[in-house]
Amino acid sequence: MNLSELPDLPCFLNGEFSSVRAAKVSVMDRGFIFGDGVYEVAPLYRGRPFRFAEHMARLDRSLSELRIPNPRSREQWRELVDRLVAEHARMTGARAEDYDQIVYIQLTRGVAMRDHVMIPGLEPTVFAFVNRMSPPSGEEREQGVACVTADDFRWKKAHIKSISLAGAVFARQISADVGGYETVMFRDGFLSEGAAANVWAVRGGKVLGAPRDNLVLEGIRYGLIEMLCRDAGIPYELRRVSRDEVFAADELMLSSATKEVLPITRLDDKPVGNGRPGPIYEQLYAGYQRAKQNS
């Protein structure tokens, strides 16, 4: 795809509203040179961001880890998102209330001559745009998806939502090469996460997930799934989950902003449980839809 083939979507770059075709950054931007920056992806339902405070809290944590100042308050970020939603509706002629969207926000350390040191005092580069969400299909929800496994070869600061995503790209390609939906990764024999999603196992009616630490990016769905489990009376536990436990699970699920919660029904070409989406998934998915409606 060349520049002229990009969709003519509105975007925000360093204080100005433009389009993704027209917006330009310096070749000396540290995001371009080093991948020195962070990002957030938040879902929008009926034009309104979902669990936006949680996304902004994670953005703050990621920026703090990289020592990049946040140039906007949470109120200013919300105003920016609302403006992008309105601009998207104006440019496409489609009402935001009629479809789901995502907002992508990216900040880099800024522009400077190439130097590995975290140069202080730079003005962060701020970029954001809104686009339609591409959710899982009805067939994928009804039948579940097939995934493959791989060793987690990424760095040990996975808790930072970094734009340095070569490891995640490589991991996702492992499953794409064999027609899989996602790559489920293990570090030292224990479940970590997917290339672009968190992974959940169900054993004996209990939802199990990897602990909140530096080896996993804590998805915003962590807190949401905990809440949905509590509301439904489903036991929930974060701990080290072994590879054997994952392959013996009654159910496996993915969660992310775009996937919401999605059942894995085959792993490394073996059925998960009875090979169909399970009752825990059905309860969590239904609860997720109620949470969206009440947001």
Query: Annotated active-site positions, please?
Result: 161
Q: Cβ of 48: how many Cβ atoms within 10 Å?
A: 17
The CA-based angle 36-37-39, given to 5 degrees, is 150
Q: Which residue has the tokens 């490589």?
A: 170
- Cα(228)–Cα(273) distance, integer angstroms: 22
Residue 97 tokens, joined: 């209330």
Q: How far apart are CA 63 and CA 161, in angstroms?
A: 9
Residue 238, SS3? strand
Residue 23 phi/psi, 5° resolution? -65, 140
The two three-digit tokens of residue 218, written as one number? 């804590």
Which of 208, 263, 205, 275 has its CA nearest to residue 237?
208
Report yes or no: 199 and 193 within 8 Å, Cβ to Cβ: yes
Tokens 């492992």 locate to: 174
